[in-house]
């Protein structure tokens, strides 16, 4: 069952799946061959290259069956929360309550890619005046209008304030279409004033205590609404337990990242690592199962690290990747161009950092929310990226520019400059559309040029 690591096409996976079954593979209820998802419209799978492990199969199946899980939850009478924008905070509260499932409708971001535009979500958004000057999250609007994807949540909760314009405008549009939204304020994280009391944040930053206290009061307000939905209070004991369980997922992900980033040879392809990280934000609608999926992946990765096997060889250029990619295929392209991941920052580092367990639970969650890299200045985000990139031995940094995203107009430059200045690492910004095939050659050339520069610096002592 434990074959040496190899990249597989979907066709290869058909054969591999048969082999695994014959070898006695036991799968969870959502298991099955990957190809069946193509019949559901996930055409991008036909063009991706996958990891060949049973753990990766489980990961993909878990990811691609999320909508089924949500519909099943609705059928079973569980309450569904649509958490929006904050990426990692509200679901911790929701999953602390019995009978509540939370997910991010924001995840429709990837649907145009995964379905290769066949579902026309972007076309629906276009018709509503939300055109390509907005980021791919506009697909979410299409998903709400067509109702062909996730069930419409019982409660929508959206952070406002220090958030991107794209999401804020689109969520407001949704609101205007008759979907009530509970808005909560995420303030811009400011530098503490001279003499102002500050508190440490997960991930190394700090924020004025008053701001964290404000966030705590906002989260308590959200918690009350969630409690009303669940028919029972979100009390301290429940939240503390929920934080512990969320931290279990975060811990596994940190272990997975560390194992992958520090191994001599990349034990897991970039694509599967990206997918795994996504589990941090809402656990793919099943917290316990997300843990089991990650445990399998961790086992596989540890095995490979111990055996010294993996992808791309030891001389692959170590790349720190910033921002999620609208087209999953870019992760394959990174490796085809001679790179490997040695660090990532996909906009939600605050969902990977452990939530403090040594301070009262509401304050702990507020601190985690305050650490959101998008809530503070780009230079804070850049500083952490530069620090991490240097610590992880990155040889190149790629900031993937998200088409239309309000933050990308300015922050890409700030971040690239910061890593160049602080760590002397070459950095480029590359725009990745939801389907990048038309620009594939150009993007690959830019990556290859970057990697060439990085290789040339080896041994120069720079």
Partner 1 sequence: MPLPSVIFASSFVPPEWIEAHGLRPSRVAPRAAGAVEREGLCPFAGAFAAAADGPDVAAAVFTTTCDQMRRAAEIGGDGGRAERFVMHVPSTWQTPAAHRLYREELGRLGRFLVRLGGHGPAPGELAACMERREAMRDEVLARRPRLTSRAHGDLAMRFHETGVLPPASDTVPASGGSPLMLLGGPMRREDLGLFDTIDRSGGCVAVDGTESGEREWPRRFDRRRMGGDPAGELADAYFGHIPAVFRRPDSGLFDWLAAALRATPVRGIVVVTHPWCDAWRAEVPRIRDASPVPVLALDLAGAGASAGEGSTRVEAFLEALR
| Residue whose tokens read 């095995």 | 303
Q: Which two tokens stand for residue 166?
A: 């794209």
Residue span 167-196 as binding mask against ligand SF4, x where in contact by CB under 6 A, dash where not = x-----------------------------
The entry of ligand SF4, partner 1, none that residue 214 binds, CB within 5 to 8 Å by partner kind: partner 1
Given the complex with partner 1, which of 412 and 426 has the nearer CB atom?
A: 412
Rounded-to-integer distance, Cα 48 and Cα 334, Å: 12
Tokens 């949540």 belong to residue:
153
Contact between 89 and partner 1 per CB under 8 A: no
Between vectors from CA 94 to CA 90 and to CA 97, what angle results, nearest 5°? 155
With CB under 5 to 8 Å by kind, the binding choice for 459 among partner 1, ligand SF4, none is none
Site string for partner 1, 207-226 (x = CB under 8 A): ---x---x--xx--x-----
Of 364-383, binders to ligand SF4 (CB under 6 A) are: 374
Site string for partner 1, 347-386 (x = CB under 8 A): ------------------------------xxx-------
Instruction: Give me the count of residues in the chain.
Output: 462
Q: Does 169 bind partner 1 (CB under 8 A)?
A: yes
Nearest in space to 323 (alpha carbons), one of 407, 447, 393: 407
CB 192 within 8 A of CB 208: yes
Q: Is 45 in the site for ligand SF4 (CB under 6 A)?
A: no
Binding site partner of 158, from ligand SF4, partner 1, none, Cβ cut-off 5-8 A by kind: partner 1
d(CA 318, CA 342): 5
Quick check: 336 binds partner 1 (CB under 8 A)? no
Contact at 8 Å (CB) between 403 and 433?
Answer: yes
Kindly tell me the sign of the dihedral angle through the C-alpha atoms of 322, 326, 331, 337.
negative
Rounded to whole angstroms, how far apart are CA atoms 18 and 438? 34
411 interface partner picked from partner 1, ligand SF4, none, CB below 5 to 8 A per type = partner 1
The entry of partner 1, ligand SF4, none that residue 173 binds, CB within 5 to 8 Å by partner kind: partner 1
Phi-psi region of 129 (alpha: psi -120 to 50; beta: other; left: phi over 0): left
Does 166 contact partner 1 by CB under 8 A?
yes
- CA R_g for the chain: 21
| Residue 427 DSSP SS3 | strand
In whole angstroms, give the CA distance from residue 350 to residue 353: 5
Nearest Cα to 55, choosing from 25, 29, 12?
A: 25
Strands 198-200 and 182-186: unpaired
**Binding of residue 92 to ligand SF4 (CB under 6 A):** no
Is 443 a residue that touches partner 1 (CB under 8 A)?
A: no
**Out of 27, 120, 175, 240, which residue is the one contacting partner 1 (CB under 8 A)?**
175
- Residue 389 near which of ligand SF4, partner 1, none (CB within 5-8 Å, type-dependent): none
CA distance 262 to 320: 12
Rounded-to-10 torsion of CA 11, 16, 17, 20: 180
Q: Which is nearer to partner 1, 51 or 380 (CB)?
A: 380
Cβ neighbours for 342, distance < 8 A, ≥ 6 positions apart? 261, 262, 318, 319, 320, 392, 393, 394, 395
Asked if 164 touches ligand SF4 (CB under 6 A), the answer is yes
Residue among 158, 199, 326, 331 that touches partner 1 (CB under 8 A) = 158
Q: Strands 317-322 and 339-345: what pairing?
A: parallel
Q: Kindly state whether residue 193 participates in binding partner 1, applying the rule CB under 8 A.
A: yes
Interaction partner, residue 137 (partner 1, ligand SF4, none; CB < 5-8 Å by kind): ligand SF4
Applying CB under 6 A, among 10, 280, 407, 430 the residue interacting with ligand SF4 is: 407
The residue among 243 and 375 lying less far from partner 1, judged by its C-beta, is 375
Q: Which residues bind partner 1 (CB under 8 A)?
A: 128-131, 133-134, 158, 160-166, 168-173, 175-176, 181, 183-185, 187-188, 190, 193-194, 210, 214, 217-218, 221, 377-379, 404-411, 413-414, 417
Q: Which residues bind ligand SF4 (CB under 6 A)?
A: 135, 137, 164, 166-167, 347, 374, 402, 405-407
């Amino acid at each position: 069952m434990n074959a040496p690591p190899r990249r597989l096409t979907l066709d290869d996976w058909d054969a591999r799946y048969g082999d695994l079954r014959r070898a006695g593979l036991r799968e969870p209820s959502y298991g099955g061959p990957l190809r069946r998802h193509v019949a559901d419209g996930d055409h991008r799978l036909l063009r991706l290259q996958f990891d060949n492990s049973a753990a990766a199969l489980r990961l993909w199946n878990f990811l691609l069956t999320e909508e089924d899980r949500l519909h099943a939850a609705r059928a079973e009478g569980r309450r569904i929360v649509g958490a929006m924008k904050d990426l990692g905070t509200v679901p911790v509260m929701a999953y602390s309550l019995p009978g509540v499932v939370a997910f991010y409708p924001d995840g429709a971001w990837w649907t145009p890619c995964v379905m290769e535009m066949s579902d026309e979500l972007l076309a629906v958004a276009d018709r509503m005046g939300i055109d390509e000057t907005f980021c791919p999250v506009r697909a979410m609007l299409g998903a709400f209008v067509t109702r062909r994807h996730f069930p419409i949540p019982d409660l929508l909760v959206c952070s406002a304030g220090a958030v991107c314009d794209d999401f804020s405008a689109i969520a407001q549009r949704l609101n205007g279409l008759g979907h009530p939204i509970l808005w909560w304020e995420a303030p811009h994280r400011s530098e503490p004033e001279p003499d102002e009391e500050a508190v440490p944040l997960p991930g190394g930053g700090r924020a004025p205590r008053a701001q964290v206290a404000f966030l705590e009061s906002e989260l308590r307000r959200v918690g009350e609404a969630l409690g009303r939905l669940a028919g029972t209070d979100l009390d301290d004991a429940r939240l503390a337990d929920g934080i512990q369980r969320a931290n279990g997922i975060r811990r596994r992900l940190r272990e997975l990242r560390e194992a992958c980033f520090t191994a001599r040879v990349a034990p897991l392809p970039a694509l599967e690592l990206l997918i795994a990280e996504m589990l941090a934000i809402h656990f793919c609608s099943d917290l316990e199962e997300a843990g089991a999926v990650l445990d399998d992946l961790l086992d596989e990765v540890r095995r490979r690290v111990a055996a010294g096997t993996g992808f791309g060889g030891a001389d692959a250029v170590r790349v720190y990747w910033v921002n999620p990619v609208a087209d999953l295929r870019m992760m394959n392209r990174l490796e085809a161009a001679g790179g490997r991941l040695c660090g990532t920052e996909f906009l939600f580092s605050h969902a990977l950092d452990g939530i403090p367990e040594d301070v009262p639970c509401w304050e702990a969650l507020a601190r985690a929310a305050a650490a959101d890299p998008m809530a503070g200045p780009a230079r804070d985000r850049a500083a952490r990226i530069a620090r991490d990139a240097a610590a992880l031995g990155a040889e190149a940094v790629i900031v993937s520019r998200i088409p239309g995203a309000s933050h990308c107009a300015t922050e890409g430059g700030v971040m690239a400059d910061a890593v160049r200045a602080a760590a002397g690492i070459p950095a480029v910004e590359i725009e990745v559309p939801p389907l990048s095939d038309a620009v594939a050659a150009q993007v690959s050339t830019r990556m290859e040029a970057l990697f060439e520069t990085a290789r040339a610096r080896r041994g120069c002592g720079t």
